[in-house]
Structure 1
Amino acid sequence: MYKELESNFFLLVKSNKEKAFQLVFDAYWETLYKQALKKIHSNDLAQDLVQEVFICLWDKIDLLDAEKSVLAYLYAILRNKVLKVYEKDEVSLRYAINVTAKESTAHIHSQNILLEKELKRIIDLEIERIPPRMKEIYILKKEDDLSIKEIADNLSLSEQTIKNQLQSAYTRLRMRVKDYDSSLALLAIFIAKHL
């Protein structure tokens, strides 16, 4: 199916660029969106990234190599855009750490507040990215302060499933902050217990 679609695409590009673009857009938008959502875990951001991918396709449509797969090209653009999202998060965190590291010891309290806010932002972003069911369980535990048994009863799931989902959520959150300095890691532990 894709092979025929792609060969039609390259034939159409020469005669009707708009129609060729629409053909690929209609065929691949949902596939790319699902891939972006799997990586980003944010509907709005996933949609934005896919739109950017198609803007890149439009800009380069005349330069595409007919020997290559259009879908592979679109996946490559999407992968790069996803990586840039993660790089941007890391850069802003590293900037916050560097700025606070230069402050005098008289401002340690202020530094801790800034680090705590930055870490909370990172954790909140990661919570937004976790799968919906895992997020629901995590929120019921952390924000509504329900017991594992209460969550299991409310969602008609086994207690073991709830434990597994919570463990996965905690692991994801720990992985998100583990690359940063030890003061953030310690704050992460403190905040995770008190969220």
Structure 2
Amino acid sequence: MTEQEVRRYLRQMKEEDSERAFKGFYDLTYDRLFRIAYYYVRDEDAAQEIVLDVFMRLWQMRNRLPAVNSIEDYCFVLTKNASLNYLERENRQSPLPAEHLPEPTDTASSPEETLISEELFARYVKALDRLPQRCREVFIRIREERQSYAQVAEALGISVKTVDAQLQKATTRLRKMLLPDEGDE
């Protein structure tokens, strides 16, 4: 997703009340927002519902969106908060009996560790979005969906060697985007 494309869609949504521009914005950002929601709720149906709710909210606020400095970060925060609200509602509606509650652990994350983890995840999602489409698709199917090389090759109509090459390419590019250069230290 490029900032220019997003800004163009946001302008059209505001100035022309354009549903077509909103559809373009939706197509450009849905996968990323879905990955964010799924990261938190670990349920595909719930993640889809959350993202659709976020898009409804974005459409309702379309006149204010062009003024947002970083729409990427704004959408990330909206999706994260909607996911956390969903989890809170689910926990309130279905309290677990005491025997099913998880045991407290001494390895609870500090607020700083949680923030670092979320920032790293946001960087990962952005980096993943910048990969070429085929690389991204192969990477997600193998690393996130846990499909085999053969399954991915069959689904995409490519050879297993091509799957391997695309995965290596994706991994190398992600590493360069996420890890600081050795010389920068």
Which TM-score band (shorter chain)?
A: 0.3 to 0.5
| Rg (Cα) greater in structure | 1
- TM-score (norm: length of structure 2): 0.48
More helix by share: 1
- TM-score (norm: length of structure 1): 0.46
